[in-house]
Amino acid sequence: MVVQQISHYWLLEKIAEGGMGVVYRAHDTTLGRNVALKLLPDELMSDSDRRRRFLREARTAAALNHPNICTIYEVGEDQGRTFIAMELVPGDTLAAKLIAGPLPLPDLLRIAREVAEGLAEAHAHGIVHRDLKPQNLMVMPDGRVKILDFGLAKPTEPSEVSEHSSTLTREGLVVGTIPYLSPEQALGKPVDARSDVFSFGTVLYQMATGRRPFRGETTAAVVEKILETEPELGPVTE
């Protein structure tokens, strides 16, 4: 049976899907506005420890308030499903814009500055995004940029990186999107703000060249490149 309503949100259409959940355009019947509603997948819901950790981390990210960060309105559970209600941001993802190739330098600098400002705000509050990539950067019609999907966001308090951390963040579990992982993420090690800076550098490289700096035919090959090699310098030859 297809779920059509979660809490006071009516699901209108699916707009994105990934390993950490499905995102719907939804209507908030209480406030009369459209939102982006993310539902966690069943495989995560079956682990109560992961669910509690995700809820706590999403609530932490909800405290962020910055013009370059997508606002989280509500985090909750209904009908046995965990949901995150977020600002519905119009525009195109940076990934969609990069299909045409490298960005003009003025656009690159503007986008880079706004992403850096959003990340700095998150890091100032002890939040690491952990999944920074072009698909999670929305360029709005007026040119402003918003960082999306803090669903993998992680507080960086000492207790969060102890050897007793839960299964979502414990050492040995790789979290994020392979081509944009920092070396620490690729090794399943605890991370801090420097991990986001590495991923940001990967995005900058792609904006400037139109290609990712670490490429390979398999996931293992990409991880090896991240761990063992430096990005190619100079003009694109392919």
Active site residues: 131
The closest of 122, 134, 131 to 19, measured between CA atoms, is: 131
Rounded CA-CA distance 50/158 in Å is 19
Contact 136, 149 (CB under 8 A): yes
Q: What is the DSSP string of 174-222?
A: --S-GGG--HHHHTT----HHHHHHHHHHHHHHHHHSS-SS--SSHHHH
Residue type, 187: L
Residue 87's alpha-carbon distances to 4, 33, 37, 98, 117, in angstroms, are 19, 10, 9, 23, 19
The 3-state DSSP class for residue 15 equals: strand
Contact 192, 128 (CB under 8 A): yes
